[in-house]
Chain A
Amino acid sequence: MSLLERDNLLFQGADWDFSLIQRIHDAIETIGVGEMGLNVYPNQIEVITAEQMLDAYASIGMPLFYKHWSFGKRFALHEASYRQGFMGLAYEIVINSNPCISYIMEENSATMQTLVIAHAAFGHNHFFKNNYLFQEWTDADGILDYLEFAKGYITRCEERYGHAAVERVLDAAHALMSHGVHRYPRKKRPDLRSEERREKERHLHLEQTFNDLWRTVPTKGAAAKPQLSDERRRALLELPQENLLYFLEKSAPRLQPWQREILRIIRQIAQYFYPQRQTKVMNEGCATYCHYRIMTRLHETGQISDGAFLEFLQSHTNVTRQPEYDDPHYGGINPYALGFGMMQDIERICTKPTAEDREWFPEIAGSGDAMAVLRDVWANYRDESFISQYLSPHLMRQWRMFHLVDDPDQPELRIEAIHDERGYRRLRRSLSRHYDVGWSDPDIQVIDVDLAGDRRLILHHHVLNRTLLHKDDAQRVLQMVANLWGYAVVLKEVEPATGAIFQEHVAHPHETLF
């Protein structure tokens, strides 16, 4: 190794310090932004200890979060398995905020810090900033301020109304979190920064316009109320409504203002995390692809040594390992492996296409500029659409994928499709559907309620593939809904095609709880 090359090295050995982190970041930035054309938020890299990493795990990685027992439970769980050595800790956590915060662990070696910065501070960061779902649904500028507000608000509620009362609302809101998101854009975008201000304004308005005299004004007889048609009544309540938290926040007749506000907070947070659930494969794939490219370039340009590169490869192959279905370690499809594999495949299609690729992907095959294609993919797709568009026959053959169907009416399991000419499209369609959250989450909607009558809330679960809800859990959650709603709630499990009702759950509110 010549003297010049040696000088080029960013580091030798495993030790690192803050100036080295800065140099690593700058070297990666040169490659990531300069050569790959990544577009990232400014980075904020925070060094933490293993214990702080466990803390961060407990609060879904967010630097500040309100207090709830379930986070304590999660912490205890992680801590126990970590101490027993069942679980290693992640090397990093990255937060979709502006500036983009990445936590890196102090135990990492210099190579690992390089990998982590390339992966999180550039890969994930680029994805957060550019993907349409994140742009549509999350507010990277405001999230930290909003969490601060949420934490403070919930603490104040606990002081004012007691731990138990707040905990009941939070429990119920958490149970409904997966049904507390808007799946389609509404008229107005959420702006988290203004949420806090608006809450104050709402409160102030109530105080300013408060007049005790109204209480004494005699009310008219009920007969004066005009009868609304069913259609009109439902339209006024925005029914049917699939965002249960939103509906309860807006329409539950007996909630206190602070209870509504807590539902709103949980709803906002659920909405913030919603894109992450839909882009697991792409997000990890993007980050993994970026770190692979960047580390390779760093090695090519002599900025990291052969030893460091081998250390990186070892950890990289661990992350992207996909055990086969009959392997005892098999635990579903590894999103890192699938995402990375597909993105490398896209690169191959762009640069070295086969005749098959030209037939399947005429618009990108042989285009030469893989990065441009990938940047476009990262910006405009989510897992479902990404897989249904870009999973290539080549990769399906490489993974030897097959489609297994388990129909309880049949005596045996059946192989529906395998990696052959007849099966490619069907395989791809089925796999992409697995990543569609709209398909994997049960479809539950508020169908009707007669606010002027008995106020019984009617929910429907549109049953897919005859798979009913987990009965015990459904009953528990329904009980919470009833407590929030304040009146009886009924949940019907309905076959959407025929309207046949499989099952009905009913819950009545505990009067004492709210």
Chain B
Amino acid sequence: MYIIDRRLNPGGKSLANRQRFLRRAKAQIQRAVRQTAGDRDITDLERGGEVTIPADGVREPSFRRSGEGGVNDHILPGNKRFIEGDTIDRPPGGGGGSSAGGDNGEGEDDFRFALTRDEFLDLFLDDLELPDLAKRRVATVETQGMRRAGYTVTGSPVNLALLRSMRNALSRRIAMRRPKPEDLLRLEQEIERLEQQEGPSDHLTALRQELEQLKLRTKRFPYIDPLDLRYRRFEPVSRPVAQAVMFCLMDVSGSMTEHMKDLAKRFYMLLYIFLTRRYKHVEIVFIRHTHEAKEVDEETFFNSPETGGTVVSSALREMQRIVEERYSPDSWNIYAAQASDGDNSPNDGSTSAALLRDVILPVCQYYAYLEVGSDSDRMQTGFINHKTSLWQTYETLQEQGANLAMRKVNHRREIYPVFRELFRRRDAEAGARVP
């Protein structure tokens, strides 16, 4: 008998099967993922998790009898009161007769299984793309890494390049005409044979001398010499790391309700997840503003209420200051998303527009403006064409050709579609949009 411990074998033996399965059902899984994302809290998105797809797409059909029609019979255990010839009413709702149901599971309806976080996000963010990636190549923080770079004659034993060393030894042996072991052996045998056959002769002496010389030569040119040794050489390289900073700008004046903040938060979360997938290093800056703007931490950003008027340009100025101080546009990819209910003090419009056009937009990879409305807004059909003051300001900018994305969102289930729309791959469209 043998006992084999397989526990340490690498797991994931069916990974290849899983990939085939995901590929096979990709369309359905993707639909399910999007649907799940709609229902789920955005903070949970990163966790991956269960999705349900219709079983139909991954069905494995076979020739089998249908459960309906025809005569079915069953042998059942546990008779308590029946005798031969008894009849029983058909149980309601099925021709199956009893619970025996030996038939194949007709009712395999939905197929439920778990996706890992990575699989989930891959499918979730599939076919989305960061716009304007020009600066991604520009990198600042450089990590040090090692890279193979040829061979060297010195080094530590672990880096010994065995193949190369042996090849050097071989070529040296050939070049130096180091006697081959089989030649030596042949000579020795010849001498031995001659010694047995006849007495001392000149020929024998000559042979002996030759052997002596060959042996000397063998000793002088060793099989392997320190000269032959080669080591794998590594050299340090610095690798650029693409990095991004994400500015979250939000109006926190009294007119912003919890619902609106929630919408904004969801959008920021999505953006953050998306950026972390594309960049190794992502920083977030939260700027909230009323009539004056302040950089705050996340907790304060979303939770503590403020009162005051609304001056959008204050936030833009704050952002400008922070960019100048900490995030040089040469080395950072800058993304900004602004959420607001659209209010702005009437005399601030032109200031904001100028700031945005002349200062902010030129340093940004992408600037998105998300106007959040209350849930009930959608109902008021009469106001559909109503434009807030900020919207009007930005719209004018956009018409002048500024690279600015604007969307309006009223309900949390619209967040994800809007997000997709903003970031969807726009190969065809790109030429048309950028003047």
Contact = CB atoms under 8 A, between A and B. Distances in A.
Contacts of A327: 78
A331 to B, nearest CB: 8
Q: Name the residue in A402, A417, A461 with the highest tally of chain B Cβ atoms < 10 Å from its Cβ.
A: A402
A406 B5 CA distance: 52
A322 interface: yes
A71 B86 contact: no
A474 B59 CA distance: 13
Interface in A352-409: 399-408
Given A67-B20, A72-B20, A401-B77, A21 B71 contact: no
Interface in B26-55: 50
B84 A325 contact: no
Interface string B384-417: 0000000000000000000000000000000000
A423 B84 contact: yes
A414 B85 contact: yes
Contact of B19 (A72, A80, A465, A474): A72
How many B residues touch the partner, as a band? 35 or more
Contact of A332 (B3, B18, B21, B102): B102
Contact of B7 (A52, A178, A324): A52
Given A407-B71, A413-B97, A48 B7 contact: yes
Contact of B20 (A69, A99, A401): A69
Interface stretch (A37-45, A197-205, A224-232, A245-253): A37-45
B1 A52 contact: no
A117 to B, nearest CB: 9
A67 B78 contact: no
A77 interface: yes
Contact of A52 (B6, B20, B73, B104): B6
A22 interface: yes
Nearest to A405: B73
B322 to A, nearest CB: 45
A320 interface: no
B77 A324 contact: yes
B102 A408 contact: no
Q: Name the residue in A178, A411, A418 with the highest tally of chain B Cβ atoms < 10 Å from its Cβ.
A: A418
Contacts of A417: 84
Contacts of B72: 405-406, 465, 467
B80 interface: yes
B262 to A, nearest CB: 31
Nearest to A117: B1
Nearest to A18: B3
A303 to B, nearest CB: 17
Contacts of A416: 73, 84
Contacts of A167: 20, 24
Given A18-B3, A167-B20, A412 B70 contact: no
Given A412-B90, A415-B82, A47 B3 contact: yes
Interface string A315-350: 000000011111100101100000000000000000
A29 B106 CA distance: 45
B2 interface: yes
Contact of B75 (A18, A401, A408, A470): A401
Nearest to A403: B75
A109 interface: no
Nearest to A398: B77
Contact of A469 (B64, B78, B89, B102): B64
A71 B20 CA distance: 9
Given A45-B3, A47-B7, A406-B73, A468 B65 contact: yes
B111 interface: yes
A47 B104 CA distance: 34
Given A52-B11, A430-B75, A415 B86 contact: yes
B179 interface: no
A434 interface: yes
B23 interface: yes
A418 B86 CA distance: 10
Given A178-B63, A427-B75, A325 B99 contact: yes
A399 B75 CA distance: 11
A340 to B, nearest CB: 14
The main secondary structure of chain B at its interface with chain A is loop
B247 to A, nearest CB: 40
The main secondary structure of chain A at its interface with chain B is mixed
A43 B62 contact: no
Contacts of A407: 71
Contacts of B18: 72, 75-76
B23 A69 contact: yes
Contacts of A49: 7, 11
Contacts of A45: 1-4
Nearest to B87: A412
A325 B98 contact: yes
A420 interface: yes
A423 B84 CA distance: 8
Nearest to A491: B63
A473 B1 contact: no
A324 B78 contact: yes
Contacts of B2: 42-45, 99
Nearest to A480: B61
A177 B60 CA distance: 11
Contact of A44 (B1, B64, B85): B1
Contacts of A412: 87-90
A55 B71 contact: no
Contacts of B113: 76-77, 79-80
A183 interface: no
B176 interface: no
B305 interface: no
Contact of B69 (A73, A442, A461, A467): A467
Given A52-B6, A401-B79, A80 B20 contact: no
Contacts of B89: 412-413
A43 B2 CA distance: 7
A322 B19 CA distance: 39
Contacts of A18: 3, 5
Contacts of A469: 63-66
Nearest to A432: B75
B65 A470 contact: yes
Nearest to B99: A330
Nearest to B70: A467
Given A332-B102, A404-B100, A43 B64 contact: no
B17 A408 contact: no
A330 B95 CA distance: 18
Nearest to B18: A72
B117 interface: no
A326 B80 CA distance: 10
B70 A468 contact: yes
B84 A413 contact: no
A476 interface: yes
B63 A59 contact: no
A147 B383 CA distance: 69
A323 B77 CA distance: 8
A22 B1 CA distance: 8
A215 interface: no
Given A106-B7, A325-B100, A473-B63, A418 B80 contact: no
The 4 A-B residue pairs with the shortest CB-CB distance in the complex, in nearest-first order: A324-B78, A72-B21, A467-B70, A72-B17
28 contacts: A21-B3, A55-B11, A67-B17, A68-B20, A69-B24, A70-B58, A72-B14, A72-B21, A76-B114, A77-B111, A77-B113, A80-B112, A175-B62, A178-B63, A325-B98, A326-B80, A327-B78, A332-B102, A333-B77, A401-B79, A406-B98, A416-B73, A422-B84, A423-B84, A465-B71, A466-B69, A466-B70, A473-B64
Interface of B: 1-7, 9, 11-14, 16-25, 50, 58-67, 69-80, 82-90, 95-102, 104, 106, 111-114
